[in-house]
Amino acid sequence: MIGFLEAAGRTAREGVEALGFATRAFFNLLRFSPGAFRRPSLISEQVHFIGNYSLVITIVSGLFVGLVLGLQFYVNLIQFGAEEKLGSLTALSLIRELGPVVTALLFAGRAGTSLTAEIGLMKAGEQLSAMEMMAVNPVQRVLAPRFWGGVIAMPVLAAVFSAVGIMGSYLVAVKLLSLDEGAFWSQMQAGVDVNRDVVSSIIKSFVFGIAVTFTALFQGYNAKPTPADVARATTRTVVIASLLVLGLDFVMTALMFTQ
Amino acid sequence: MHRKIIDVWVGLFVLLGAAAVLFLALQAGNMSSLSFTDTYAVTGKFDNIGGLKPQAPVKSAGVVVGRVGDISFDDKTFQANVTLDLDENYQFPKDSSLKILTAGLLGEQYIGIEPGGDTKNLVDGDRINRTQSATVLEDLINQFIYSKAAEGKDGSE
């Protein structure tokens, strides 16, 4: 009985401790960000590494998600004779939910893991300690540019995902299933509100960018400097970042789209 | 040199994102239908506006001539106060009337404006007195049931 209580207490204490540690690390990162912005070439290098290289997987997944949504909605809408609504349905589901969420999940798998592994190996190779010895702040020189690179790249990728997805559903609906093109676009324009849908989609992807990039950097920076723990940290990045994205998405949807 | 190539690619990447947002706003969203032309506001009082929402179109002869601005409730007359932002390019006579209509059987509601015969035109801040409320489906069904019941009574007597 005592042992059970002790275990429960330790778990709670460790949870609070980890949360506080992560929060302190986050504010530390923000504190050294202005220094990173004084060297924008470091950030643009990271946008290139994180963003440009994630573009292919984002475009291909966006296209296929759009194609599949078009087909699935068509099968169900045709039963009510409401297949004109297909445009607005696919656009709303892509812009509001699937665009930011699926992109963030892909982003965690594609860019988050590589960030964790990179930082973890830098730490294992004692490169970060070497920097500190040379009076170079590793948070400012290594972590902050990667963080802002990810935060900038994520909304761009999510917008590209949504746009390509809509084009994919257009291909299926208009070219394959010969739906009326005018009805497809006009129903979409009637359904999608720029302020309510497009802006909140951008806000969502921005928040996901912060969450995923920070998780990846935090896991890498706090991994034990052994090959086994760097591998575990990479796995933890994907698991924690994905759950964080899904949880945050629910909270933000509840705040944005319920009256 | 290497540095420059990276900057070019990053620039292209950010431009692609901007293009995607523009596509979402203009082609998928309603940004293109929001008019940036000057508008003048007129108000109308309705007994019942049904499911009318702000930003709903105002149409005359099926052409969009404005948008619904603000909807509020007047607790003196117990009526709905609807402000319409009409396009400056379109002028309507002072005695025009408003109707709340529905696009299709279950579609969205919009306001139809029917021109009158007055020689003077509506100006900013005017009030339109002749309005027709939204048709509420439940009321129609009730009327139908009552008239059916009345018919049945007539037949038996």
- Going by C-alpha positions, the residue among B62, B112, B59 that lies closest to residue B87 is B59
Q: Does A231 touch chain B (CB under 8 A)?
A: no
Q: What does the block give as tokens for A46?
A: 């990271």
Return the pLDDT at A102.
95
> How far B136 CA lies from chain A's nearest CA (Å)?
23
| Gyration radius of chain A's alpha carbons | 22
A172, A70 Cβ separation under 8 angstroms: yes
* C-alpha to C-alpha distances, A42 to A27, A152, A217, nearest whole angstrom: 20, 13, 16
Return the pLDDT at B35.
56
Q: Position of tokens 């009318």?
A: B52
Q: Does A129 touch chain B (CB under 8 A)?
A: no
Q: List, in sequence order, every residue forming a beta bridge with B68; answer none if it has no partner.
A: B84
> Packing angle between helix A40-50 and helix A144-170, nearest 10 degrees?
40
Find chain B residues with C-beta within 8 A of A162's C-beta.
20, 24
Tell me which H or E stretch contains B100.
strand B97-102
Nearest to A156 among B6, B16, B108 (CB): B16
User: Which whole number is the average pLDDT over B115-121?
Assistant: 87
Return the pLDDT at A251.
94
Cβ of B9 and A48 within 8 Å? yes
Return the pLDDT at A35.
82
B45, B81 Cβ separation under 8 angstroms: yes
Q: Does A192 touch chain B (CB under 8 A)?
A: yes
Selected for mutation to probe chain A from B4, B24, B26, B64 (highest A CB count within 10 Å) is B24
Return the pLDDT at B1.
56
B84, B43 Cβ separation under 8 angstroms: yes
Q: Does B119 touch chain A (CB under 8 A)?
A: no
Q: Does A166 touch chain B (CB under 8 A)?
A: yes
| Cβ burial A129-158 (10 Å sphere, 16+ → b, else e) | eebeeeeeebbbbbbbbbbbbbbbbbbbbb
- Going by C-alpha positions, the residue among B130, B129, B135, B115 that lies closest to residue B52 is B135
Q: Is residue B32 very low, low, confident or very high in pLDDT (cuts 50, 70, 90)?
A: low
Nearest to A155 among B17, B27, B29 (CB): B17
Cβ of B17 and A198 within 8 Å? no
Cβ of A163 and B24 within 8 Å? yes
Q: Give pTM, 2 decimals.
A: 0.77
**3-state DSSP assignment of residue A40:** helix
Mean pLDDT by 10 residues, chain A (259 residues): 89 90 90 85 88 92 94 89 85 92 94 93 89 88 91 94 94 88 83 86 94 93 89 93 94 86
Return the pLDDT at B39.
83
Residue of A nearest to B106 (CA): A82
Cβ of A192 and B6 within 8 Å? no
Return the pLDDT at A259.
63
Return the pLDDT at B36.
61
Find chain B residues with C-beta within 8 A of A157's C-beta.
17
A200, B29 Cβ separation under 8 angstroms: no
Q: Please say if the pLDDT value at position B41 is more than 70.
A: yes
> How far B107 CA lies from chain A's nearest CA (Å)?
11
Q: Please say if the pLDDT value at position B30 is more than 80.
A: no
Tell me what ipTM this predicted complex has.
Answer: 0.82
Find chain B residues with C-beta within 8 A of A159's C-beta.
17, 20-21, 24
Selected for mutation to probe chain A from B1, B2, B12, B13 (highest A CB count within 10 Å) is B13
Q: List, in sequence order, every residue forming a beta bridge with B98; answer none if it has no partner.
A: B113, B131
Give B73-116 pLDDT, tens digit per residue: 989 888 899 998 888 888 889 888 998 888 776 667 888 998 88
B101, B111 Cβ separation under 8 angstroms: yes
Amino acid at A230: V
Cβ of B13 and A201 within 8 Å? no
- Going by C-alpha positions, the residue among B40, B58, B65, B33 that lies closest to residue B111 is B58
Report d(CA A244, CA A233) in Å as an integer. 16
Q: What does the block give as tokens for B16?
A: 């692609």
Selected for mutation to probe chain B from A80, A84, A160 (highest B CB count within 10 Å) is A160
> How far B24 CA lies from chain A's nearest CA (Å)?
6
Number of Cβ atoms within 10 Å of the Cβ of B152:
9
- Going by C-alpha positions, the residue among A25, A20, A103, A33 that lies closest to residue A61 is A103
Find chain B residues with C-beta within 8 A of A50's C-beta.
none
Cβ of B17 and A91 within 8 Å? no
Cβ of B10 and A44 within 8 Å? yes
A101, A246 Cβ separation under 8 angstroms: yes
